[in-house]
Amino acid sequence: MSEEWKWWVGSEEDRFHTECDTREEAEQIAREEYDGAWIIEAVKTTSIKLSDYFDVNNFIENANDAAYDLCDPDGDCNVFDTKADAERDLQEMVRAAIDTWQEKHSLKFVSWSFAASRNREYIPALTEDPALPPRVEA
């Protein structure tokens, strides 16, 4: 991950939507445009691996559901009965194939989330009493 720390402003403590290059810019926007808001310094998530969302247990369960018509009506309907070590191996192999596919097609999936954050703080509006200390969150 290439860390690029930016400042963000948001009207809610856990929702940020205005990106800033400096703390001073974030503070100014919080005071003037939001009439008081939260600021945070954060690194935005740059790329998500699709393979992280492949789950072998869900896959096998869905396959068993789809193959229901192949079941013995008088027996157990678990067509794809596998052992834990085989499932782990399948999970690793499929995730590797997905990674290869994602790289081959230069697919970059980006979410709206922070990979890391620090320095969360509430900046009061200019109309609020400046003698009061700002609220600071860890």
87 to 30, 58, 72, 132: CA distances (angstroms): 50, 11, 23, 58
pLDDT at 5 over 70: yes
pTM of the prediction? 0.61
pLDDT the model gives residue 130? 56
What is the pLDDT, as a whole number, of residue 127? 67
pLDDT of 80-128, one tens digit each?
Answer: 889 999 999 999 999 999 999 999 999 999 888 898 999 999 999 876 5
Q: What is the pLDDT of residue 1?
A: 44
The DSSP bridge pattern shows strands 18-20 and 37-44 to be unpaired
- Per-domain boundaries in the chain: 5-46+112-123, 53-104
What is the distance between the alpha carbons of residues 5 and 118, in angstroms, rounded to a whole number?
A: 10
Chain segment 32-87, per-residue pLDDT in tens: 888 899 999 999 888 899 999 999 999 999 998 888 877 767 767 778 889 999 99
82-to-3, 61, 64, 90, 107 alpha-carbon distances in Å: 41, 11, 11, 10, 32
